[in-house]
Amino acid sequence: MTGAARGIGLGIAQRLAEEGCRVILWDVDFSQFDRRKAGFEPVLTQVVDVSDRLAVEKAFSEAVEAAGSIEILVNNAGINGPVVAAWEYPPDAWDRVIAINLNGVFHCCRAAVPHMRQRGYGRIVNVASMAGKDGVQYISAYSAAKGGVIAFTKSLAKELAADGVLANCIAPAMAETDLLREMTPEHIAASKAKIPMGRFLQIPEIAAMVAWIAGPECSFTTGFVFDLSGGRATY
């Protein structure tokens, strides 16, 4: 579970632990992670920058050694980046958003897939976004990265379809997380206005969806985008 120290990642990890999973947490900062409040004991907590391929490969090897095997990979780590017009977007910020939100998914899948294929079983859940479907103004890097996650997931799923390894992704609308701190009030209001239910997505709702996708009952769906949009999605 990447990006798992807080927010959506922690919420998903808690739900998977409740379902009986032994969970390994990856994040770049565990300073806000409280084991007592989390309600479960992770197998490992590993400080990993998913944009660093070598760091991912090393951490995955350590995870396999500690757990024995890895059946589920949830790629959640991500940043929003600045809220600014595309022609004013700082190139270094663009590179960082793509590196974490898209390249990070690739690095983690590249590390995990051979292990899963060898075992003949695996569930990969990539956290994309409605922004990856719609393209949202003033967050072009985030939209581009999440659109890339969707396309990558579809490609990967087809490649793995006969191997017992399923790859799907979720496309949440805006949720109430710490990422809101990176956004302007105008951007938050505009995003909420797009949701027909008139409210933001809640973390337990995301966790419930991921728990099913990552479980054995999801057995004939791969390469799919599960929307969590409150009615916003049109395709």
Pairwise CA distance, residues 162 & 220, whole Å: 11
Q: Token pair for residue 126?
A: 């990539």
Q: Measured between alpha carbons, how far is residue 192 from residues 108, 164, 178, 187, 196 in Å? A: 31, 38, 16, 9, 9
Q: Token pair for residue 172?
A: 């949440």
DSSP per-residue string spanning 132-169: HHH--TT-HHHHHHHHHHHHHHHHHHHHHTTTTEEEEE
Q: Token pair for residue 122?
A: 């695996």
What distance, in Å, lies between the first and last C-alpha atoms of the chain? 28
Q: Token pair for residue 166?
A: 């399923």
Catalytic residue among 89, 121, 138, 142: 142
* Residues sharing a CB contact under 8 Å with residue 144, sequence separation 6 or more, in sequence order: 98, 102
Pairwise CA distance, residues 147 & 208, whole Å: 23
* Residues sharing a CB contact under 8 Å with residue 179, sequence separation 6 or more, in sequence order: 7, 79, 80
Residue 235 annotated in active site: no
The catalytic residue positions are: 142
